[in-house]
Amino acid sequence: MRILDYITRFSNEESCKDYFYRIRLKQGVICKRCNSEKHYWLSNRAQFECSKCKFRTTLRSGTVMENSRLSFQTWFLIFFLMTNTKKGLSAREMQRQIGHKRYTTIWAIMHRIREKMGKRDEKYILKDMIEFDEAYIEKAVPESIKSNLKRGKGSPRQANVVVIAESIPLEDKKGKKSRFCGYFKMKVIPNGKAETIDQILKQSIEEKTIVFTDKSTSYVNISDYVEVHITEKSSPQTTKETLQWVHIAISNAKRTLLGIYHKINGKYLQNYLDEFIYKLNRRYFYSLFDRLLIAVV
């Protein structure tokens, strides 16, 4: 959505409330007391009332806005700024843009939104042909112990992240081969053991898939629960052809995180990756703002 379109559509608090009401009405409201989905709207109180037990639900209740004192207009502006750029926005810059006094409030709100993004993408299961690999992303460590830490694989400086991509080989009329990428997933894992890799893959992909990996010893069990497991020796050629899309995603994620957030606490790394993947998976969508509103509801 362009900035001028946003300003025209959401020029005041009432326009934001009305649009959010229509989104909630379309997605459905579930009663917290009896789990009923049948509600009617009380316009004089601006609340949904359960037709079964008469329990009332506000517009914010059950959404990412629950218990927040910020206006709908402020929340909508945060949604818009987080989705209006492919690269993302730091909490400090968000605070400056919306003119809020407290950094911690904006930081917490952005992480709540990122968590909703991650939960939305958990619903997708990757299928057909899959590229799978691991990445090591640098995270923040205390200055007092930084000089004593080892470097390379297994270092406390590095977070282990698995990267999965749908990758379908294509061939045009002239016989030129290429690969089309679909959905992606990135998950922070505590270690690179085979059991951990197996658990992540089983949760993320269908059984009838073809999985491409390198010859890591952590991938020894993959062939037991997928249709075909193809391994190739780690080399520049493998990175360029067989594992093309996972490595493009890894390099783009590293540049984005380093350029915008610099150093990230490992505790919150998954949230930042969730935001990156959420946008990557919806790279062809015209209005990411509307998709995010559905996710936060």
Cα 243 to the center of its chain, rounded Å: 21
Distance CA 30, CA 14 (A): 24
Q: Is-contact 53 36, C-beta < 8 A?
A: yes
Query: Nearest 5°: CA angle at 144, between 143 and 146?
Result: 60
pLDDT at 232: 81
Per-residue pLDDT, 192 = 87
Structure tokens at 66: 């629950």
Q: How far, in Å, CA of 56 to CA of 265, rounded?
A: 39
pLDDT value, residue 234: 72
Please give the average pLDDT of every successive group of 10 residues along the chain, which has 297 residues.
90 95 92 92 91 93 92 96 90 95 95 96 92 91 66 76 89 70 94 92 92 90 89 75 90 94 91 96 89 93
Decide which of 3.30.420, 3.30.410, 3.40.30, 3.40.50 is the CATH code for 129-264.
3.30.420
Q: Which residues pair with 100 in a beta bridge?
A: none
Is residue 88 left, alpha or beta, with left meaning phi > 0 and alpha meaning psi from -120 to 50? left
Q: What is the pLDDT of residue 76?
A: 97
pLDDT of res. 262: 85
| Strand locations in the chain (E) | 39-42, 47-50, 56-58, 129-138, 158-171, 177-189, 210-214, 228-232
Residue 155: the pLDDT is: 75
User: C-alpha 26: how far from its chain's center?
Assistant: 23
Q: Distance between CA atoms of 279 and 4, rounded to whole angstroms?
A: 21
Q: Give the pLDDT of residue 16.
A: 95
Q: pTM of this prediction?
A: 0.90
Q: Where are the domains of the chain?
A: 3-122+288-296, 129-264
- The C-alpha torsion from 89 through 90 and 92 to 93, rounded to 10°, is -20
Of 194, 223, 217, 196, residue with least CA distance to 130:
223
Q: Which amino acid is at 182?
A: G
Closest CA to 269 of 121, 40, 115: 115
pLDDT at residue 172, as a whole number: 65
